[in-house]
Amino acid sequence: MIDGLQRAYYLRALNPSDTSTHIQLAEELGLDLDAFHDDIISSETEQELQNQIQLYKELSANGFPSLTLQNNNTLTQIPVDYKNASAMLDLIKQALSPSSQGQNYG
């Protein structure tokens, strides 16, 4: 579904925020549409969405997608580098090293 949503947005100009887009993709994937529809409009799904939005705000994320490393009680923003995953991994390793606790790389 995640791949389908990415393709829907970037290649098909469909709005990934619209429930109708999710239902269309569920149908294309051959999912049980009745169950999918019930799940996507459920209060549990809405609550999880609100929880994720609140977490995004609490983390002071700078965009979507974003990467925040939580190590114990320390949160570290890791800049997303689409061209070099190694650079992101290096920053994660640095953030996990004892000598750099509390630094922010974002």
35 and 67 fall within a common domain: no
Strand (E) or helix (H) holding 96: helix 85-96
103 and 65 fall within a common domain: yes
| Tokens 């999912």 -> residue | 31
Residue 30 lies in a domain: yes
Q: What percent of the chain has pLDDT over 70?
A: 93
Q: Domain limits at 30? A: 2-41
Residue 48 lies in a domain: no
66 and 100 fall within a common domain: yes
Give the mean pLDDT of the chain. Answer: 89
- Global model pTM greater than 0.85: no
Question: What is the tens place of the pLDDT at every residue in 41-52?
Answer: 999 999 999 998
Contact between 43 and 52 under an 8 Å Cβ cutoff? The reply is: no
For residues 53-79, give the mean pLDDT: 85
For residues 72-77, give the mean pLDDT: 86
63 and 106 fall within a common domain: yes
Domain count, the chain: 2
Query: Do you find a cis peptide bond into 98, omega within 30 degrees of 0?
Result: no
Residue 87 in 3-state DSSP? Answer: helix
Residue 51 lies in a domain: no
